[in-house]
Amino acid sequence: MARKLVLITGASSGIGEAMARQLAQKGWDLALAARREDRLIALAEEMKAQNGVDSLIIPADLSKPGEPERIVSEIEKAGRQIDGLVNNAGAGQPGYFTETEWDDQARFLELMVTSYLKLIHLVLPGMEERRFGRIINVSSVSALLPIATGHTRFSGTIYPGAKGLLIKVSQSLKAEMTGKNVHATAVCPGYTWSEFHDVNGARQSISQLPDYWMLTAEDVALSAYDAVERNKAVCVPGAWYKFLVGLMRVLPDPAGDWLISRQSKRAMKQAQANKAAAE
Ligand SMILES: NC(=O)c1ccc[n+]([C@@H]2O[C@H](COP(=O)([O-])OP(=O)(O)OC[C@H]3O[C@@H](n4cnc5c(N)ncnc54)[C@H](OP(=O)(O)O)[C@@H]3O)[C@@H](O)[C@H]2O)c1
């Protein structure tokens, strides 16, 4: 029997790369999409050597309309069907709303929202017909928490809303696909070590946060895989973020907002003091 194939967007680093490693270990063949082809090729070769799985390499810029259709058509031309989808590619849109150009916000929406939805729309009918599908949408804990001071400067004004949409869509898909063995999960990571913070220019402040605020991409990939297999619509990796999200559910919004802002300011102050002491 042919191995199942999962399409992973943004597989050239961070959470996408960790998802590829995780799924290859479980015996999935891979279709790897991102802009940096050299990285995808290196990952594919490593996964072949380590796990014996095959990969399709599809260089793509998902901020451009039409790319989801092209990706799916390349996979079909290679004679493969898509059994799993990890919608993960992404970057922030740094700067407060008034400081940014609309064209940049439009590209952000194409990458972070439209391409995710288009890919789901393209692969879902086949999954439904074959009665098997696994969809992971990489959301963010920022969609579940009041915004910490300064957060939107790095990831963008629309970022938490875009990630929130993925949660609601995953919940709707879970309901629509009940009994069809097609599972959809939104994984909501907090701060995760990856290149994300380099791209957004937030590396320096992020690297000063206490350890318990930071997740690894491998933690996120493990949680996401476990959740989609168990057909959980939403998953929050890590004990600290589970606690924060649970707390926010019982606190009134203004109290939650105050607490998160205070906590993040205190963490940054402590980190700066540690840095000064070390110098
Ligand atoms: N790191 C965090 O703290 C964190 C927290 C919550 C949620 N997330 C979410 O996790 C996802 C993955 O981010 P990460 O942390 O793993 O960051 P990362 O290491 O920077 O990875 C981002 C991936 O997305 C790809 N990508 C970016 N722009 C693209 C484009 N225009 N077209 C195609 N691919 C593109 C990048 O590949 P190329 O550059 O090769 O194209 C890369 O493979 C994102 O959706 C992010 O919003 C991250």
- Residue 107 belongs to what domain range? 5-278
3-state secondary structure 42-59: HHHHHHHHHHCCCEEEEE
C-beta 167 within 6 A of ligand 1: no
Q: What proportion of the chain, given as a percentage, has pLDDT over 70? A: 90
List alpha helices for 26-114, DSSP H.
37-51, 67-77, 102-109
Ligand 1 lined by 140 (C-beta under 6 Å)? yes
The DSSP symbol for 279 reads -
Average pLDDT over residues 97-116: 96
pLDDT band at residue 195 using 50, 70 and 90 as cut-offs: confident
Q: How many Å apart are CA 85 and CA 152, to the nearest integer?
A: 28
Chain centroid to Cα 174, Å, comes to 18
Distance 33 CA to ligand 1 centre (A): 11
Give tens-digit pLDDT for 121-150.
999 999 999 999 999 999 999 999 876 555
In this structure, what CATH number is given to the domain that contains residue 115?
A: 3.40.50.720
How far, in Å, CA of 236 to CA of 221, rounded? 11
More confident residue, 267 or 235: 235
**Is the predicted pLDDT of residue 275 greater than 70, yes or no?**
no
| CA of 195 relative to ligand 1 center, distance in Å | 8
Q: How many angstroms separate the Cα of 33 from the Cα of each of 41, 128, 138, 175? A: 10, 23, 15, 28
Q: What stretch of H or E contains 271?
A: helix 253-278
**Mutation pick for ligand 1 pocket among 112, 113, 163, 194 (CB with most ligand atoms within 8 Å):** 194
The neighbour count for residue 236, using CB atoms within 10 Å, is: 23
Q: What is the mean pLDDT of residues 152-167?
A: 89
The domain tally of the chain equals 1
* pLDDT band, residue 151 (cuts 50/70/90): low
In this structure, which residue's CA is closest to atom 46 in ligand 1?
A: 90
Pocket of ligand 1 contains residue 196 by CB under 6 Å: yes
Which neighbouring-strand residues pair with 31? 7, 56
Cβ of residue 195 lying under 6 Å from some atom of ligand 1: yes
**pTM of the prediction?**
0.93
CB-CB contact of 16 with 116 (8 Å): no
- For the packed helices 37-51 and 14-25, what is the interaxial angle rounded to 10 degrees? 20
DSSP letter (8 states) at residue 192:
B
The predicted structure's pLDDT at residue 278: 65
Tens digits of residue pLDDT in 60-71? 999 999 999 999
